[in-house]
Structure 1
Amino acid sequence: MNIPSTIWTLLIGILLTLTSFWFGQNHGLLPTAASDEAFLVDGLFNTMMTVSVGIFLIVEGVLIFSAIKYRRRKGDDTDAEPIHGNVPLEILWTAIPAIIVFGISVYSFDVYNEIGGFGHHAVEESIISRPQATSIPGAAIAATLDSASDVRNIDQLPEKQDAPGMGIVAPSLGATPENEGKQPDLVVKVTGLQYAFLFNYPDSGVFSGELHLPIGKEVLLDMAANDVIHAFWVPEFRLKQDLIPGRQTQLRFTPRVAGDYKLICAELCGPYHGAMNATVVVETLEDFNGWVKEQQVASIETFNQAVAVNPQQKSADEFLAPYTSEMGISSEMLHQIHK
């Protein structure tokens, strides 16, 4: 039975379409989707994968078919038939990719807007710039303190405001459209430095090397870098944001799936860049509150131990005197610098 070429073309087109849709939705290339925003990004990625697989199968299929059917036969030394081109076909294979690229671009802009990329997502000035108390557990940060009260008031994070007069605007991913105008449930200040991430919870005074987040609560990360550009990237959240020295960058999202995830620095920041990572713990609200209380208790104990070790509470000049004398710095010089 001689099947018309149009029927063969239709059957092959249906097979390629079904194969593309199946692989685009079942590729298994992405890790767990652990945030609300991850599902939006996954939808875009799956669409791009579906289109890519379809185009790949069509192009490679035509190439393989042509290489087999129109190959030079043994003993055939004649010239091939001259071809002068096909204008309608050239217009078709130019228009179709252009339409695909335009469609994916529109879809990408829509997803970016849905995760807060284009909204008016400025956070209240009081949240960003107010001095926050920080707890200093262990030896995470070394500082010379003139009095015990400094432990509660010192601002350890180098956040700075944008400089609009210089054309500098920090990149941000703000609130999704449904959360526009609402304050986030949790604010965390993130500092990147070679080669670690530090997290400050200003509302509770907790300072930690791990990022703990409650499930289903919208989180605002207010981020800055101490030295060079770093990047906050958790693959399961499908979100990435740079930490830039001298500029505030923000990331706003809602974690959805409990678990321990790896925070990776995605910017080459030095020779030990590969070791710069941290743990992100997404847990229930009850477990999160319990962790906060544990950190507060541990902070108080550490502070009391520090006061017990140094009951006289030396001034900065007294504390630095043994070291400055070794360096040849006089007390007068130190006093001038202090002033």
Structure 2
Amino acid sequence: MKIPSAIWTLLIGIVLTLTSLWYGQNHGLLPVAASDEASLVDGLFNTMMTVSTGIFLIVECVLIYSVVKYRRRAGDNEDGPPIEGNIPLEILWTAIPAIIVIGISVYSFDVYNNMGGFDPHSAHAAPMMEDAMSMPGTAMAATLDDAPATQRSPIQISQLDPGSEAVVNPNELIINVAGLQYAWLFTYPDTGVTTGELHLPIGKTVEINLTANDVIHAFWIPEFRLKQDAIPGRETSLRFTPRIPGDYQLICAELCGPYHGVMKSQVVVETQEAFDQWMQEQLVASKDVPNQAVAMNSQEMTADEFLAPYTKDMGIHSEILHQIK
């Protein structure tokens, strides 16, 4: 019994659809989703993977079918029949990609908006600021600043409106992040602690105020599905909620110089109790800095000798010290 071509087309379409849906949800290409926002990005990625797999299979099947059916046969030296065009077919293969692109664009817009992309509180198009154009090493100098923590305010508040008071949400953790060749420095405004390792409590919304001291860097934590450029003279903001405890890597994803490949920092997601204990340890350690600064002057220590123990603990390589003088 000869099966009509329409039935074959329907069966092949069902198989391709089921295959695309299965692979789009089971590709295993993404790392663990360690933040609340990661599920939004994963949903978009899985949708694009499903559509891409379907298109790939359709194109390859048509190519294989055409190669087999319309291959040149022995003794056939004639040209094929002339084809002037097929307007309905041309409209179809133009309309379908257009619908797919528009659908993915709307979906992407929604994901970006849900992640805070269009929230004025975390706008990505913040104005240029002179303070952010400071010379490399300014962020490092914050470790020697003995101003009381209560006098410190989030960078975005103090720079946009120095006369205003910072409004702090107790359910949010604000961290100022500065990228410089070739390290990341993290300042917790509530306590004044500056470190080269990013510690985050589980389940607490984090607001990152991001800038760069020298060239463009990129703040990228694959497990959080976050990647944002750090631009000199411009502050950008990211908001996310870490959800799975563990150690992750913050990677610079923008070529920033000869040592770009080593510009990585440790990200530690831990319980609130462990985070508070770590913060207390940093506060205790920072109290010794002014005394050691006096000792450095009395012993005529060089800046490299004084900073070496701290930069080693912060994961900063020795060559960076020459970049921040």
TM-score (norm: length of structure 1)? 0.75
Check whether the contact 1:184–1:220 (CA below 8 A) recurs between aligned residues.
Answer: no
The equivalent position to 1:151 in structure 2, one of 146, 151, 154, is: 146
Aligned counterparts, 1:181-200, within 5 A: 185-200=172-187
- Whether 1:258 and 2:245 are equivalent positions in the alignment is yes
User: Whole-Å Cα distance in 2 between the matches of residues 110 and 269 of structure 1?
Assistant: 31
Is the partner of 1:121 in helix, strand or coil?
A: helix
Which runs of structure 2 are paired with 1:286-297 in the superposition (5 Å)?
286-297=273-284
Correspondence 1:271 to 2:258: yes
Amino acid of the residue matched to residue 206 of structure 2?
A: V
Residue 16 (str. 1) matches residue 16 (str. 2) = yes
Residue 235 (structure 1) aligned to one of 183, 197, 222? 222
Mapping of 1:1-339 within 5 angstroms? 1-121=1-121, 141=140, 151-152=146-147, 161=159, 185-308=172-295, 310=297
1:161/1:247 contact within 8 Å kept:
no
* AA of the residue aligned to 2:202: I
CA distance in 1, matches of 2:140, 2:59: 58
Deviation, 1:88, is 0.7
Are residues 42 and 144 of structure 1, via their aligned partners in 2, closer, same or farther at CA, if it must alter by over 3 Å? closer
Using the alignment, how far apart are the partners of 1:143 and 1:41 within structure 2? 35
Q: Secondary structure at the match of 2:121?
A: coil
| Alignment partners' CA distance in 2, 1:144 and 1:121 | 28
State the Cα RMSD in Å: 2.9
**Do 2:210 and 2:237's aligned partners in 1 also have CA atoms closer than 8 Å?**
yes
Distance 1:298 1:143, change over 3 A: closer
Q: Distance in 2 between matches of 1:260 and 1:108?
A: 29
How many residues align? The count is 276
Q: Contact 2:122–2:237 at 8 Å: present in 1 too?
A: no
Letter in 1 for 2:111: V
Query: Match for 1:206: what amino acid?
Result: V
Q: Which runs of 4+ in 1 moved over 2 A?
A: 140-145, 150-155, 157-163, 181-184, 301-312
Say whether the 8 Å CA contact 1:213–1:255 is kept in structure 2. yes
On the 8 A contact 1:190/1:197 being kept in 2, the answer is yes
Offset at 1:24? 0.3
- Residues 1:44 and 1:302: Cα distance change in structure 2 (over 3 Å): same
Unaligned runs of 5+ in 1: 124-128, 132-139, 164-180, 313-339
Tell me which structure has the larger Cα radius of gyration: 1
CA distance in 2, matches of 1:143, 1:57: 56
Contact 2:175 2:208 in 1 (8 A): yes
Q: Distance in 2 between matches of 1:89 and 1:271?
A: 52
Report if aligned partners of 2:36, 2:240 keep a CA contact under 8 Å in 1.
yes
Paired AA for residue 293 in structure 1? Q
SS at match of 2:147: helix
TM-score by length of 2: 0.78
SS of the aligned residue for 1:203 comes to coil
Give the SS at the match of 1:77: coil
In structure 2, give the amino acid aligned to 1:18: L
- Residue 238 of structure 1 aligns with an amino acid whose one-letter code is R
Structure 1 residue 266: Cα displacement: 1.2
Q: Distance in 1 between matches of 2:19 and 2:225?
A: 26
CA-CA distance at 1:289 after TM superposition: 0.7
Deviation at 1:307, TM superposition (A): 3.9
> Judging changes above 3 Å, is the alpha-carbon distance between structure 1 residues 97 and 282 closer, same or farther for their aligned structure 2 residues?
same
Q: 1:110 to 1:158 in 2, by over 3 A?
A: closer
Secondary structure of 2:81's counterpart equals: coil
CA distance in 2, matches of 1:86, 1:143: 69
Gaps of 5+ in 2: 124-128, 132-138, 162-167, 300-325
Equivalent-residue separation in structure 1 for 2:58 and 2:252 (angstroms): 38
Change in 2 beyond 3 A, CA 1:143/1:294: closer
CA distance in 2, matches of 1:266, 1:4: 53
Structure 1 residue 189, shift from structure 2 partner:
0.8
